[in-house]
Structure 1
């Protein structure tokens, strides 16, 4: 009987992909948590942190155990998710330290030439919305052109933050810029300046007094501007937008998930009669960690655990809304994280605010499994089997072609699409993933390659370089706040480090020619795949270059004058959520 089990589902799928006028197109709800570890969820093995709503979603649908983020950092991973393409193809991968946008007044962002799944399904008659974190740019030439805004990428509606949530956005939680400040070599600078003064006094310095003191003033000015940047950072970068209007600047973070959830529910209610795509992009559980009063102190894992529980509550609210509106059976729901947990995150009070990677090594900003192996849960009653577990390599880039095929949109043929339609694998029509190779980038540098041979149970993974952990026996980079991809923070390997993840998922013991007879032949195949992949890349403008990510005053979004430090509060959701909390 089992061989005929999914014939009705295949028939349903044909109905759901009918033309737009029939009203039978499936809806899409995607929920992405920021920096959530795969080991933070009960359905992935956590026994001390309660996530009943997400666990129920996994029981009712398909759980992917080898679901891979296309990048281990927020901005490139999200670009890949939306477009189905490695971020290096769209210029959303950096050459150097900074792989994400840090200022709202940067000019880089997801290029308008890129096709997102929202842009593709909008043409098919879908209402589209992104609620929560964007982190893919805002403006190009002036503070109101919104060239990188979600509205420019196929989303009809936007409510959330253009930037990521940082500890600067919470009073009393310090600043992420202190990590930059702490790496300024003040002692050598001080010694150098004192030496220059002494040499100048003794007449041993040949420069004029004017040049000398101008240099001292310049150094003092740079340090003062840095202090001013830290002071103004929350007002300039922590704001909420509805559409293209700033409705709160700076925002209050502790009720932000409540407000976002309310916005998501309102969107579902408004669009229950037409096909829709909702991308709910959580602000939590990124640094600085926060939780609303309803959840603070409820977990065994401090503020981070409280935040995970609040995320789970929000997932439950969205699923309850789908049920109430009789939309659940016609909606593909996808729940994931953008990358692994931020293991280096320590609060100003010395508390660990990072998540849990389970058995996997390291976390965010690395291509060890803990940095890129993420939750992947898909649910669609009557179309996808319930309680199914798939241990095949899949990618967050696979959502793009999956959505387009279901919505009846054509896959673009003028560019390389790196994702593959997940439906055949999810429904059991095929047993193997279409990803024979997955390429793991650290910023714009090809860091590692995963190979799933067609006729083998092995899953090979080769590292060309690895981050230097500090302390050396740890699996994090506490001396740099995140792991960097460049010298002197990495070690290069020749030959590459090689692992068989099917036997060593913790990446604890690299193989050698002595321990693996296929060592050289495996690396030969991987090198050939790298060569083919590299040839498929075309030069594009880098959107996260130093000139693109630097703060530009003329691009600064501000809901009042700069002299008033950009302050406003006109979000109706604030009063609505406050009234709801008082009733509870």
Structure 2
């Protein structure tokens, strides 16, 4: 059943007052890595089996206009935890080990705000918000509000099978047994079992799957005999294995009688990896479905991702919503649910979705905004407002996509000039096939003004990590 945003807003149930008192809701955010818009069975994949996520969607809302904060991992994660456009944080690209780039300690995060309000907070999985991981030289997850953390700097190493690079609360864990998603879900489940039951919790579970280097259980690989391309069955099994880990988390909530007062949000950090970008990506058979582009694109395939929200008794079940939402919305949504007043919202780019739960119209003060200077092609910036999406192209040519921020890149970012603009009605034209800029000059002018203003604000105080001491 498909509802328009307007009908959804009218019919969604209101939140009881108890959620703003002692019985505040728990929050579980599940973030996948490089999971494409079309990679789940409930989002139309013809082969991959995801029964637990199918059930999650059947018990809540399938979000068909759900966006990440960026088309690449570190900026997307920085945006999720801060509610801010990653560029204004200085998180311009993925963060290699040892890089000076990091989310700075003074930035408010959803974990710190909720922790200060009495929540227990935990991070489980991929961190990727600093280069000097588990070092006093840069803030670590514990400095950013997570009072318990079990994480890696970037990918599970050497692969998803028996990873050896986890750190728990500052101490190296060493070899682990099992596949990364099960290791992560198991750690989160243990934390949930031993937490203080008198306090609400915020848990951020960040699976490494299905990012390379992919490893999948042989028994699951064998369930995809028709996947005959090199690495295809490995990828399909990897998504199914992640689905099993989601199922184990939901079973933990049920066993601990937490499922009825826990808001569960499931999404991905960006679109799917491409096969030809680097040699080890031969297992990356992700799908962006009907969307244009993939990871590292500013077009929909890079930023529109699967989204599911489950909140029993507070949102309808088994429906579909085309309301544009973004991972930037997680911080203000969680804060409103927890009764946390945000004194300064001037830097926030997300919007609380609680109004949607209460049947009110959501008003964004500014359009959704994305920037990635190393995106494929000339399209580097985009905004979405309602049905409309404007893509801004620059005149610098293509900078090697996904190569990471380097010395000398900052002038490209700070001095960017945008010479052409493309306009798409992404409600009617989800694949961005028809540029209708010439037919709607007033829409272009309005969105161009908003885009350039936000770009100027985002870059005004953003750091150059290779010339400033940070």
- State the TM-score, normalized to the length of structure 2: 0.85
> How many Å separate the matches in 2 of 1:350 and 1:87?
26
Whether the 8 Å contact between 1:71 and 1:440 is mirrored in structure 2 is yes
Alpha-carbon distance change, 329 to 503 in structure 1, aligned in 2, over 3 angstroms? same
Aligned pairs (5 A) from 1:360-375:
360-375=291-306
Q: Give the counterpart of 1:263 among 187, 192, 196.
A: 187
Whether the 8 Å contact between 1:67 and 1:376 is mirrored in structure 2 is yes
> How many Å separate the matches in 1 of 2:52 and 2:297?
29
Q: Give the counterpart of 2:313 among 363, 378, 382.
A: 382
Deviation at 1:528, TM superposition (A): 1.6
For the pair 1:101 / 2:100, whether they are aligned, the reply is no
- Equivalent residue number for residue 54 of structure 1: 53
Whether the 8 Å contact between 2:437 and 2:444 is mirrored in structure 1 is no
Per-residue Cα deviation, 1:199-257 (whole angstroms, up to 9, x for no partner):
xxxxxxxxxxxxxxxxxxxxxxxxxxxxxxxxxxxx9xx62101101121xx5686322
Bigger mean CA deviation after superposition, 146-155 or 523-532? 523-532
Bigger mean CA deviation after superposition, 407-416 or 80-89? 407-416
- State the TM-score, normalized to the length of structure 1: 0.69
Deviation at 1:283, TM superposition (A): 1.1
Alpha-carbon distance change, 442 to 125 in structure 1, aligned in 2, over 3 angstroms? same
Alpha-carbon distance change, 312 to 347 in structure 1, aligned in 2, over 3 angstroms? farther
- Equivalent residue number for residue 114 of structure 2: 121
For the residue of structure 2 that corresponds to 1:283, the secondary structure is coil
> How many Å separate the matches in 1 of 2:237 and 2:323?
32
Aligned pairs (5 A) from 1:69-468:
69-93=68-92, 99-103=93-97, 105-137=98-130, 139=132, 144-145=135-136, 147-165=138-156, 169-170=158-159, 239-248=165-174, 255-271=179-195, 272-293=197-218, 295-299=220-224, 300=227, 301-344=232-275, 351-413=282-344, 415-430=346-361, 434=364, 437-443=367-373, 447-452=380-385, 458-465=387-394
Deviation at 1:91, TM superposition (A): 1.4
Q: CA RMSD of the aligned region, Å?
A: 3.5
> How many Å separate the matches in 1 of 2:281 and 2:324?
37
- Equivalent residue number for residue 189 of structure 1: none
> How many Å separate the matches in 2 of 1:7 and 1:506?
29
Greater percentage in helix: 1
> How many Å separate the matches in 2 of 1:417 and 1:243?
29
Alpha-carbon distance change, 254 to 547 in structure 1, aligned in 2, over 3 angstroms? farther
Deviation at 1:106, TM superposition (A): 3.0
> How many Å separate the matches in 2 of 1:47 and 1:504?
22
Structure 2 regions of 5+ residues with no counterpart?
1-6
Per-residue Cα deviation, 1:96-140 (whole angstroms, up to 9, x for no partner):
xxx21121x333311001111000000111111000000011649
For the pair 1:529 / 2:413, whether they are aligned, the reply is no
Whether the 8 Å contact between 1:499 and 1:511 is mirrored in structure 2 is yes
Alpha-carbon distance change, 544 to 42 in structure 1, aligned in 2, over 3 angstroms? farther
Structure 1 regions of 5+ residues with no counterpart?
94-98, 174-234, 470-476, 550-584
Larger radius of gyration: 1
Alpha-carbon distance change, 241 to 548 in structure 1, aligned in 2, over 3 angstroms? farther
Aligned pairs, number? 445
> How many Å separate the matches in 2 of 1:116 and 1:532?
24
For the residue of structure 2 that corresponds to 1:39, the secondary structure is coil
